[in-house]
């Protein structure tokens, strides 16, 4: 029986990656920005949080702008069951028990420092670690 939550059409031909964290304001936004930048149309990208912040972390926006990636346009949002149902890969970053689990999905938990309240030098290190992980993810997806 087909999975009714899976996309039909062009999106069904490419993997969908969902990045989840608590506030959807730092780590998940940076990861989504990197994946969009590096994989382009080869991967569908979504992100969400269990308790979304009011705005994207301004320091995260600044450090991503340093590498010519704009993450200011996607406001933090709560993940939905549909987001999870459509994901081939769910990458969690610190949301613990709040992160959803659906059998049959690939899950990765990225243990990354939360950039909230951190100085720009630390957020740059987090950005660079996320880039390395996203590059490995793209390779593992064959994208």
Model pLDDT for residues 2-36, shown as the tens digit of each residue: 333 444 334 457 899 999 998 999 999 999 999 99
Residue 92 lies in a domain: yes
The span from the CA of 38 to the CA of 36, in Å, is 6
Outline where 1-143 has alpha helix (H). 27-39, 58-65, 81-86, 120-141
Residue 41 covered by a domain: yes
Asked if the structure places residue 13 within a domain, the reply is no
Distance of CA 79 to the CA centre of its chain: 11
- Residue 97: pLDDT band with limits 50, 70, 90: low
Q: What is the CATH number of the domain that holds 107?
A: 3.40.50.2300
101 located within any domain: yes
User: CA–CA separation, 70 vs 87, rounded Å?
Assistant: 23
Into how many domains does the chain fold? 1
Q: Is residue 81 domain-resident?
A: yes
Residue 99 has pLDDT above 80, yes or no: no
Containing domain of residue 68, as a range? 20-141
Indicate the pLDDT class of residue 41, thresholds 50, 70 and 90: very high
What sign does the dihedral 126-91-28-46 (CA atoms) show? positive
Q: Would you please indicate which residues are annotated as catalytic (active-site) residues? A: 21, 95, 99
Q: What are phi and psi of 121, to 5 degrees?
A: -60, -40
**pLDDT recorded at residue 96:** 64
- Whether 4 maps to a domain, the answer reads no
Residue 6 domain flag? no
Asked if the structure places residue 12 within a domain, the reply is no
For residue 113, the model assigns a pLDDT of 92
């Amino acid at each position: 029986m087909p999975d009714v939550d899976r996309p039909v059409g062009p999106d069904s031909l490419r993997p969908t990656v969902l990045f989840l964290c608590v506030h959807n304001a730092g780590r998940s936004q940076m990861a989504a920005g990197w994946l969009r930048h590096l994989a382009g149309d080869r991967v569908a990208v979504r992100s969400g949080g269990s308790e979304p912040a009011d705005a994207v972390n301004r320091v995260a926006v600044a450090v991503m702008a340093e590498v010519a990636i704009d993450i200011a346009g996607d406001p933090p949002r709560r993940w939905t069951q549909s987001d999870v149902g459509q994901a081939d890969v769910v990458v969690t970053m610190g949301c613990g028990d709040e992160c959803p689990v659906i059998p049959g999905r690939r899950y990765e938990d990225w243990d990354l420092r939360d950039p909230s309240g951190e100085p720009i030098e630390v957020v740059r290190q987090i950005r660079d670690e996320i880039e390395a992980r996203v590059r490995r993810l793209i390779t593992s997806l064959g994208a």
